[in-house]
Structure 1
Amino acid sequence: MPKDLSDLGRFSDPSLLILSSLASGPKHGYAMIEDIAAFSGTRLEPGTLYGALARLERRGWIEALASEERRRPYRMTAAGLHALREQLATMHRIVMIGSQRLSLT
């Protein structure tokens, strides 16, 4: 049985990881990178992070706060919280169904 599952690709997209990180409060980019690595084992590259932040901001799911020195923190909006809850509920259903189906084999 193969142990390297890297060919399956990512299990979570950057937007979901960012929203999950911001669910615990506002953070700047580096803090998000570190938090996401700690809870998911995925280390986002800065280009990936900032591209996803721009998309999330355009959707109105996050907003930039006033800069602190050279750092710009972001926080999740009410729309972002709703989007995160919906995505996590969908993922939960997938995990439940997948687990049930695995128990049949």
Structure 2
Amino acid sequence: MQRKIVIAFVTGLFIAAAFGMAFAEGGNARKGKFLYRKHCRSCHGVSASDLSPATKTQKEWKAIFSDTSKIPCNAKWPAMPESDVNDIFTYLHDFAKDSPSPAKCS
């Protein structure tokens, strides 16, 4: 019985990795807001297009962050840990315009 549980767990991990679930639940939205203001807000709204959580739906944020290599700003992120990118995603997603608590200002 215990062996079946371990096999099921390991199989689940491989399936999650195979589907590229890099931005699964669990990011820290509060930290993401801080990181967004620190790394993103300095350009977006100034020299780049205005961007805040409420500019997109949750589905749109998921689509954007499903392949971060396609995000134009990605070239500026190499030194940023994946956990920080996940926190920024969580902030943007959790306060998207169709979320239960959309952002009113960033």
Per the normalisation by structure 2, the TM-score is 0.28
Which structure shows the bigger proportion of residues in strand conformation? 1
Comparing both chains, which one has the higher relative contact order based on Cα–Cα distances under 8 Å and sequence gaps of 6 or more?
A: 2
Per the normalisation by structure 1, the TM-score is 0.28
